[in-house]
Structure 1
Amino acid sequence: MVDVFETISASSSPELQPNELLATQPIFEKVFKLVNETGFYELDDHLDLVKAIAIETKHENLEDELMHTWITMVNNLNTATSQEEFNARFALFTPIILKKMNAYKVATDA
């Protein structure tokens, strides 16, 4: 997660841009692979949480969806009371962030 924030903090823009988030995609993919190998996502409680977090919201475009998901994740991470809780929350949001990134990339590459 530190790598994600370091990548984003290197920006010269006053506001976070979708392309800056997309620059973190390889980090999220690495986290997803590592966490997936542990079986974390296969546990019923965790799978249910990921599904609940991934509920589609009503935004006008995929950029807003991506940014909303990012802000929701950061706000959620900021309420963690331990490193373990922080890590678990980050792991839960990782597949959702990747899904939003991929959808955004497909829409903007088309």
Structure 2
Amino acid sequence: MIFLPQSINNTVQDLMVDAFETLKNPNNSELKISELLATKPILEQVFNLVKTTGFYEVEDNLNLIKALTIDLENDNAEDALYHTWATMVNNMNTVQSQEKFNAKFALFVPVVLKK
């Protein structure tokens, strides 16, 4: 796995916290599409920051992004967005370091923005 440069990695980490804090709702455990859409400005910041590094063009990363962006058959945009976010969260739960977490998060950003 390719890692982001340290200064960008730190900023991505801060923005990542902002994205997940936006979704934090102690009164409701069910995630709503409108809540996911509220993270778009934060994810756009991550995308604009990371795209300058060439991270999204690294061959391994590009292949993963292409695999993740395959549209789901018979799903509407909301279902596709929810599925992408849930896949991202499942992947985030398997990483064993903050750097890997940030790198995987950065890979999912263009996918979530596309949905």
Q: Secondary structure at the match of 1:73?
A: helix
Match of 2:84 among 66, 69, 81: 69
Q: How does 1:1-80 map to 2 (within 5 A)?
A: 1-10=16-25, 12-80=27-95
Q: Partner amino acid for 1:84?
A: E
Structure with greater helix percent? 1
CA offset at residue 11 of structure 1? Answer: 6.7
> Do the aligned residues in 2 keep the contact of 1:57 with 1:65 (CA within 8 Å)?
yes
CA offset at residue 15 of structure 1? Answer: 1.3
Distance 2:52 2:88 in 1: 22
Deviations 1:62-102 (A, max 9, x none): 111110111000000110111111111101100000001xx
Q: Which residue of 2 aligns with 1:85?
A: 100
CA offset at residue 60 of structure 1? Answer: 3.0
Q: Secondary structure at the match of 2:35?
A: helix
Unaligned runs of 5+ in 2: 1-15
Q: Which has the higher contact order (CA 8 A, sep 6+)?
A: 2
Q: Please provide the CA RMSD for this pair.
A: 1.4
Q: Partner amino acid for 1:55?
A: I
CA separation of 1:28 and 1:61: change in aligned 2, threshold 3 A = same
Q: Secondary structure at the match of 1:52?
A: helix
